[in-house]
Amino acid sequence: MLLYRSAVWFAKGLREYTKSGYESASKDFIPDDLEVQVPGRAFMVTGGNSGIGRATAFEIAKRGGTVHLVCRDQNRAEGARGEIIRESGNQNIFLHIVDLSDPKTVWKFVENFKQEHTLNVLINNAGCMVNKRELTEDGLEKNFATNTLGVYVLTTALIPVLEKEHDPRVVTVSSGGMLVQKLSTDDLQSERTAFDGTMVYAQNKRQQVVLTERWARAHPAIHFSCMHPGWVDTPEPSTALDTKKVLRSFLCWTELRSGRPKLPAGVFEDGSPIFSPKK
């Protein structure tokens, strides 16, 4: 079954996740959707100090939005915050140092955050792919603790905050790699089989989209969506995919476009339904 899934994923990847796939999908984009200003709207970006997260935070900042960067490494995060402020001219960039693999820390962060701030959009971007099995101080497998449990605790705790605001949204950066895994709930800590960080990551991404589907059903006032960002951050994928365009047209389009998103909640941003847990 894994071989079949891998073959399907590879074929889909060649067709949809490369530069040609972007060019095909971009025909349905409306460029004017990004020609908006968002002063007065607050956005939280996890992992906002580098890569996709930083690019997203910058695009929001230059359009006047308030940005809350949630990062683990204080030195890198402070550097990114300073760069975003200088490049965008927007001073409303706040920094929060949080280890998403520590559920108690995440919960405490939200309890403090909601006393001082409002929030319109949560962007679950941060993640990790640890290739050797590591445990957190709580005895949790590191990938699961960060990619699944951390996202679950942060999103669940922020739902009451989001529901108070106009047009609230939650965007989770998943991965097409999840297509090689069906949902498995009997080994969340990856203890029963030989550890494969890539497959654990894919399972985490499957868990994220299933959670998104559940949240969308339970909280219809919030628009929940998942997206696959394309191949980024390594030389080979970068040559096959126009990363800058993808960042603007997929992720930024999802949280910045004006008006209520046309796609129903609980779907991928290409319009396809999130896969059933049985698939």
Query: Which residues are tagged catalytic?
Result: 201
As a whole number of angstroms, the distance between CA 172 and CA 226 comes to 5
Those residues with Cβ within 8 angstroms of residue 70's Cβ, 6 or more apart along the chain or in another chain: 44, 45, 46, 47, 48, 96, 98, 100, 109, 126, 154
CA atoms in the 13 A half-sphere facing the CB of 34: 17
**Of 250, 232, 226, 252, whose CA–CA distance to 173 is shortest?**
226
Under 8 Å between Cβ of 255 and 171: yes
Name the DSSP class of 35.
-
As a whole number of angstroms, the distance between CA 188 and CA 128 comes to 16
133 burial type by CB count under 10 A (0-12 exposed, 13-18 middle, 19+ buried): middle
CA atoms in the 13 A half-sphere facing the CB of 120: 17
Strands (E), the chain: 42-46, 66-71, 93-97, 121-124, 169-173, 223-227, 267-268
Q: Which residue has the tokens 């930083």?
A: 54
Q: Which two structure tokens, joined as six digits, stand for 61?
A: 């900042």
